[in-house]
Amino acid sequence: MSLDEICSDIANKLNTGILIIDNEYKIVLWNRYLEIHANKNIDNVKGKNIFEVFPELPEKWFKRKVESVFQLNAQSFCSWEQRHHLFELQHTRPITTNSHFMAQNCTFLPLEAKNNSQHVCILIEDVTDVCHYQTMLNKTLEDLAQANRIDGLTQVFNRKHWEECLEKEFSRARRYQHGLALIMFDLDHFKLLNDTYGHLGGDKVLIETAKVISSLLRLGDLFGRYGGEEFAIILPNTDKMGAIDVAERIRVAISENVIKFQESQIKVTASVGVAIINENDLRYEDLIANADLALYDAKASGRNLVCFAKEVAEDYNI
């Protein structure tokens, strides 16, 4: 067996696609692997333009890639993470993916024949398994990261992540002299509600309340469950009157919301405290303390009220 025959035999037994094109993008050779996965015999494609055989190729991008190989006389690479696939080749993996075509790593190698003619050899590796399992892993990691940020019951931010957000917003507001407001509200007589309807009823109230409040907020507002039946909202770039207006809308929305649970219709109210950043606030905890004192004032003044700082802003009782 001659050396050429040995090389040809090896190429046809490799589990990698081998495709050679000349500097006019005409197909010179490909191996058995490509014949199987492209379902085309070499005799039927040899001498044809690669874009005619594979019309799905991104022509401008592909030409830039090949021309850089010619000009630099150096190999180049394209991974499945950059482009899922270049060539529409059916994969044969016994797994379910969201693509009919194999994920590919493609290596572009410069070749120079004895007559100084230039060619590029493209090695096509099937990495469908890697792509599939890496995608599953990434999704799992994203889900875990999301679970670490979200309160499992109400699907708003949990306290830990919410406080991390407040710390960042507080630093940003101090640095750039931006407004920052904080709303904290607590559902009134929640223990009695739990005693009356059970914890399932209480959970239903928390879930539905969180949904109602979420629908009232801006995209940049940060809503979290501070603990138990207490919630908190960060309002970036918001002044006193803007914060009080939002707080009042929240109080009214909660008081008007009717929550259906089993055979009952539950109505609740909330006491709301509002604070804005001021020059005496050195830490984000100071802002929390001020809003918490305002919340305490709202409860002490009869509940179902909005209070600002340590004074009742206005009597919003209905």
Buried b (16+ CB within 10 A) or exposed e, 157-179: bbeebbbebbeebbeebbeeeee
Angle (nearest 5°) at CA 28 between 27 and 29: 100
Which residues is 76 bridged to in the sheet? Answer: 108
For CA atoms 91, 93, 99, 102, give the dihedral sign.
negative
- Write down the catalytic residue from 35, 229, 263, 279: 229
Instruction: Tell me whether residue 229 is one of the annotated catalytic residues.
Output: yes
Determine contact, residues 289/278, Cβ cutoff 8 Å: no
Residue at 152: amino acid letter: G
Nearest to 104 by CA among 12, 39, 14, 16: 16
Residues noted as catalytic = 229
